[in-house]
Chain A
Amino acid sequence: MTPVATPFFFYLLSGIALISAIVMITKVNPVHSALALIVTLLACAGLYLMLYAPFMAGVQIVLYAGGILVMFLFVMMLVNIEHLYIEKMLNSQWRVGLAATAMFALLMLGALVKGAGTLPQHIVNSPENSNVQQIGLLLYGRGSGYYMFPFEIASILLLVAVVGAVVMAKRRV
């Protein structure tokens, strides 16, 4: 079977992701930003599919594009954003921030250039049709469930987050 991960799809998806990410941080209206972010996250889900991770691609679509972004749009309806159009878009320290980001970009570029030779050349393509099964065995499997305890911690984290969000959004506790 020929792989779907062709260079054309990679450049298409990463181009869509990068362009809509730039659109996201340059729009004044947060609703437009949220729509651009949905496009970015869907393109990222396509990249996950190309990396032989269909389960994470599904989680990305359901959780990020379906859950978190809906929550963002819902909160934007609760807060008033009309006055934003007459205000400045950037905060008072954006020059320092851009300089810091440029230095961080140089650091990352150095790490990529230096570390490129140390990556293993051999790519293990895990079987796509048993991907969910393999992840489930790593999470819950008897003997192979290395991540059972972190999974429980994550569930407690989500519970605490839900309770905390309700407490903070309530008018009077």
Chain B
Amino acid sequence: MLEIGTLHYLLVGALLFLIGMIGVITRRNVVIIFMSIELMLSSVNLNLLAFSRLYGLHGQVFALFIAADAAAEAAVGLGILIAFFRNRATVNMDEVHLLKW
């Protein structure tokens, strides 16, 4: 079999990012949109770790910060989701148009 290089990991990370992006853009359910965002953050982590194998350990520290950021984002996002569900009784993304003109 082929030798596994950095490019393989970057390709897997790009594919996971694209799948998450499709989920964010096309789905209606806010919960699934949040989960797709978590998937995108995790695929970026995969990229950072693949580069950290080439350039030293700094990429792993950056990945750690991204993990902390993902936790903060999930907490705030789910708080917004609960507040939105209390006001509108739905989790449908098409109903979120308060700031649209």
Contacts and interface: CB of A to CB of B under 8 A. Distances in A.
A145 B78 CA distance: 34
Interface residues of B, number: 74
A56 B35 CA distance: 20
Contacts of B46: 44, 47-48, 51
Interface in A118-169: 119-120, 122-126, 131, 134-135, 138-139, 146-147, 150, 154, 157-158, 160-162, 164-169
A161 B68 CA distance: 11
A98 interface: yes
Interface residues of A, number: 88
Nearest to A126: B57
Contacts of A72: 31, 34-35, 74, 78
Contacts of A18: 12, 15-16, 19
Interface of B: 1-4, 6-12, 14-23, 25-29, 31-32, 34-36, 38-39, 42-43, 45-46, 49-50, 52-58, 60-61, 63-65, 67-76, 78-83, 85-86, 89, 91-94
14 contacts: A41-B38, A53-B52, A63-B70, A64-B38, A88-B28, A93-B25, A97-B25, A112-B7, A116-B7, A150-B65, A154-B69, A157-B72, A158-B68, A168-B80
Closest 4 interchain pairs by CB?
A97-B25, A161-B72, A25-B23, A168-B79
